[in-house]
Structure 1
Amino acid sequence: MTDVTTETAEAVQPNRAMMQRDRASAMLGLTVERDDPGHAVVSMRVRDDMTNGFRITHGGFVFALADTAFAIACNEDDRVTVAAGADIAFLKPTVAGQTLTATAVRRTRTGRSGIYDVTVVDEQGDTVAEFRGRSRTTPQTH
């Protein structure tokens, strides 16, 4: 993870705690590259065991990468925010050995609802998938 500046350290802390407990992301080997309120970047190296019967990256792993970036971006304060729904469009296949990067950006957040877009690219910068997540903030705190 990149160093956190003093200006963002307080806002980022809830996301860091959330990710420290995220066993699924750890198992997938996800790396948080950027963790700012409303914006996150997460990368993943595709392993052989992440491919399907056609030897391309299983869509579920691409979704998991995008979903993790979405989760970090929408948990931008001490309130627990979860997915209310999400859609993904798979645009380009990838294979084992490639590194995928998901960049999540808040589009809008009103009251307890938010919309976030996530673009997943390969190491060449080609778009692999587009994900749109809808968030719902709960009364719980981190």
Structure 2
Amino acid sequence: MNPEKTPQDLAEACAAAMWNDDSAARRLDMRLEHIAPGQATLSMTLTEAMTNGHGIAHGGYIFTLADTAFAYACNSYDAVTVAQHCAVTYLAPGHVGDRLTAAARELSRSGRSGLYDVRVTNQDGTAIAEFRGNSRTIRGHLLPRTDA
């Protein structure tokens, strides 16, 4: 870690570095609403293209939003971290035009493993899904090394 960076500065720099290469999030018009060490909040508006045969949000898009918030939360320490296991429980349907927000928070981080919960809500605060992700830190950093 660059010694002059605070943990918040580091989280913001990591999120910016990830965003530059995150074509999935950008193409789905996600917005990064909040980033902090071990936390991230992203939002996305459900479009007609995101609906399934029942006319409600396809679960894959809800999962993608939650998984993206999870990724930004667990990569906020400048150590490349990937999903090892994820599970989602759908609680209520999403509808075209809903603005979904996924708020990820770190529950535990020890060694190379982490545990994160993500709650997905709509614009009214209704819980749409609960997501739990297990992370695994691998080799590498998001930010260029400034070491001599």
Q: Smaller-chain TM-score range?
A: over 0.9
Residues 15-68 of structure 1 show CA distances to partners (whole Å, capped at 9, x for unaligned) of 211112100111111000001110111000000100011110000000000000
TM-score, scaled to structure 2: 0.89
Q: For 1:68-79, list aligned pairs within 5 A.
A: 68-79=68-79
User: Normalising by structure 1, what TM-score?
Assistant: 0.93
| Gapped regions of structure 2 (runs ≥ 5) | 1-5, 143-148
Q: CA deviation at 1:76?
A: 1.6
Q: Distance in 2 between matches of 1:97 and 1:46?
A: 5
Q: CA RMSD in A?
A: 1.2
d(CA) in 1 for partners of 2:57, 2:130: 15
Q: Higher mean Cα deviation, 126-135 or 12-21?
A: 12-21
* Cα deviation digits, residues 63-115 of structure 1 (max 9, x gap): 00000000000002221000001000000001111100000000000000000
Question: How far apart, in 2, do the equivalents of 1:129 and 1:11 lie?
Answer: 25
Counterpart for residue 15 of structure 1: 15
For 1:102, the equivalent position in structure 2 comes to 102
Alpha-carbon spacing, 1:7–1:81, altered in 2? closer, same or farther (3 Å): closer
Is contact 2:69-2:102 (8 Å) kept?
Answer: yes
From the CA coordinates, give the structure whose radius of gyration is larger: 2
SS in 2 for 1:139: coil
Q: Is the 8 A contact 2:10 2:76 kept in 1?
A: no
Equivalent residues of 2:107, 2:116 under 8 A apart? yes
Question: Mind listing any 5+ residue stretches in structure 1 that lack a counterpart?
Answer: 1-5
Distance in 2 of aligned mates of 1:26 and 1:11: 19
4+ runs deviating over 4 angstroms: none
How many residue pairs match? The answer is: 137
Greater strand fraction, Structure 1 or Structure 2:
1
Q: 1:125 aligned to 2:99?
A: no
CA displacement at 1:9 relative to structure 2: 2.2
* Aligned-partner Cα distance in 1 for 2:123–2:12: 26
Q: For the residues of structure 2 that align with 1:91 and 1:55, how far apart are their CA atoms?
A: 16
